[in-house]
Amino acid sequence: MTLPAGTTVPTETTAWVVERAAPAAERPLLRVRRPLPPLGPAGLLVEVAACGVCRTDLHLAEGDLPPRVPRCTPGHEIVGRVLAAGPEAEGFARGDRVGVAWLAGTCGECAYCRRGRENLCPSSRYTGWDVHGGYAEHTVADARFAYHLPEGPPDAELAPLLCAGIIGYRALERAELPAGGVLGIYGFGASAHLTAQLALARGATVHVLTRSPAARRLALELGAASAGGAYDAPPEPLDAALLFAPVGDLVPYALAALDRGGTLAVAGIHLTDIPVLNYQKHLFQERTLRSVTANTRTDGRACLAEAARHRPVVHVEPYPMRHADDALADLAADRVTGVAVLTAD
């Protein structure tokens, strides 16, 4: 697919920026016109069609994550079309459907990059944190960290896969769930509702623990064996657990619910303090507590391939791009079931 001949390549865009860190209800975002950054040799200029609203965006807006770019534009679940490509943007051409995700760049030379663990690169850069993201009409991305997207699925359904899907995929891999095992999921928002479907497609039994009645209903609709309160005990011991809620108080509950040899993977970039753990109750019998840090491009490609095979149901709540501040406020107030997605005005 190509764009119409004569399409103007813009040099500035309308975008939301974090004007000041504040609770989302106080509207820390401001919509402005700003210049687009230089394209660069491997750059892609992308016209944004949809951008998912991630809890990491909320952490940035509310000050849990210190800003790395003044007046940063959030958003790292971007689906769009290439308007222009730099001379070294191999594999991409004008009109291509493209996905831009959280990982925006790495050094490619450190020990972590050489070992295939580029998510741990000390020089890693992130979309919507180190570089301007997708709460905008246009964005610029590095082609080496972008993804080709298939034609067909709606933009708003593809966008959440680019962070919620990828991070959930990596969390599930980190949890080392055995084939046919029992998985507990704590918190049931954007990432969790996609990861649950991935685990179910792999043959797992899934128990969901979350405070939201609407999320519990959605979990059961998607095939979870049970859905209880966030601090409830699951109906059977867990072979593995994933913590998506940014609530450190849940860590001891999830560890105590694990069977012998089980693993808890904490999927968020931000977590409130973890209470003191009791060794016998929470860690003995070789229970393992792991964090999840960003993702590699291999994770991204594998997640998108698995999603293409299984076509998970993406529970989308769409918002026009001009209402990005409303979407963020609704996410903060737990008024979003599934995933909020901004769509082009």
User: What pLDDT, on the 0 to 100 scale, is given for residue 67?
Assistant: 86
Same domain, 283 and 320: no
* 136/197 same-domain check: no
Residues 206, 127 within the same domain: no
| E strand or H helix at 147 | strand 146-148
Same domain, 335 and 245: no
| CA-closest candidate to residue 141, choices 191, 190, 77 | 77
d(CA 231, CA 184): 12
Same domain flag for 18 and 147: yes
> Which pair of tokens denotes residue 202?
């792999």
Number of domains in the chain: 2
229: DSSP letter: -
Give dist(CA 101, CA 41) in Å, integer. 19
Range of the domain at 128: 12-160+315-343
Q: What sections of the chain are H helices per DSSP?
A: 55-62, 111-114, 155-158, 164-175, 190-201, 213-221, 250-257, 297-310, 324-332
319 inside domain: yes
Per-residue pLDDT of the chain (345 residues; tens, 9 = 90+): 344 455 678 999 999 999 999 999 999 999 999 999 999 999 999 999 999 999 999 999 999 998 899 999 999 999 999 999 999 999 999 999 999 999 999 999 999 999 999 999 999 999 999 999 999 999 999 999 999 999 999 999 999 999 999 999 999 999 999 999 999 999 999 999 999 999 999 999 999 999 999 999 999 999 999 999 999 999 999 999 999 999 999 999 999 999 999 999 999 888 999 999 999 999 999 999 999 999 999 999 999 999 999 999 999 999 999 999 999 999 999 899 889 999 998
Same domain assignment for residues 33 and 83: yes
If you write DSSP's letter for every residue of 88-105 in order, what string do you get?
T-TT--TT-EEEE-SEEE
Q: The CATH number of the domain where 245 resides is what?
A: 3.40.50.720
**What local confidence, expressed as pLDDT, does residue 1 receive?**
35
Buried b (16+ CB within 10 A) or exposed e, 31-45: eeeeebeebeebbbb
